[in-house]
Amino acid sequence: MTSAINTDGILGRRGLRTGVEWSTPAAARACAAQLIAEHRTRHQEILRNPHLSAEWARATVRAPQLLAAVQDAIGPDVAVENTFLVMKWPHRAFEIPWHQDGIDARVELDPNRSVSAWLAISDATLDNGCLHAVFGSHHFGYLPFSSEADNGAERGRADQATGFTADATTALPLRAGTALLINNRLLHRSGTNTGDGARVGLNIRYVAPGGIRRRDLQSPSPDPVTGTGW
């Protein structure tokens, strides 16, 4: 198996790979229906690290086709650094601002030894809050992270640095059961769900050995999935 590291970094010029099938659409939608039923009453929007506590998520991060795509990007030894389930309820304002997955107040990941996957558990559409990304924005490295200025201001800075304009933003609707792989420096966001049904998506941050440059002491240890180098 070859790793796709080159001068563009992993995942090439766009910094993104589409069309990874991790489940059948029917099985993914059934999983989404269960999560929606479980969390509808309180309109829970975020579940952190479900792969450590819920069997469906433990199995999902190990889905064979997903794992093969991840290994193709970062090599054979893979652990899960973090998972983040986002449920967007219809007509409830909830946006995830522009950000890069590999850097936050808690962690910085080596962009050549880590990759994020975003899985559509339900269908993700233009109406219900699919991801939007700026292809190629990973070339300009990590932006200075600030928990307050993680959206418009930083995006503006990326625009200046790169010549990107709002037109360079691409919407990424996805069918349930498919996934995107994202270079961890790629700028992306998602908007409010203005559709009629809930949207459910799972973000998974995978790392190869040595892929974590900095993390805080409260973080759970990476959860090994393949390999022995952990």
Ligand X SMILES: O=C(O)CCC(=O)C(=O)O
Binding site for ligand X (CB under 6 A): 84, 86, 96, 101, 129, 131, 188, 190, 201, 203
Min dist. Cβ of residue 208 to ligand X (A): 19
SS3 content of the chain, % helix, strand, coil (to 5): 25, 30, 45
Min dist. Cβ of residue 104 to ligand X (A): 9
By C-beta, is 74 or 133 nearer to ligand X?
Answer: 133
By C-beta, is 78 or 187 nearer to ligand X?
Answer: 187
Min dist. Cβ of residue 131 to ligand X (A): 6
**Of 160, 169, 183, 186, which Cα lies nearest the Cα of 130?**
169
Min dist. Cβ of residue 102 to ligand X (A): 10
By C-beta, is 72 or 101 nearer to ligand X?
Answer: 101
Tokens 């059961």: give the residue: 177
Residue 59 CB neighbours (<10 A): 12
DSSP code string of 123-144: -B-TTTT-EEEETTGGGG-PPP
Min dist. Cβ of residue 65 to ligand X (A): 20
107 in helix, strand or coil?
strand
By C-beta, is 6 or 219 nearer to ligand X?
Answer: 219
By C-beta, is 50 or 201 nearer to ligand X?
Answer: 201
Cα separation of 40 and 60, whole Å? 22
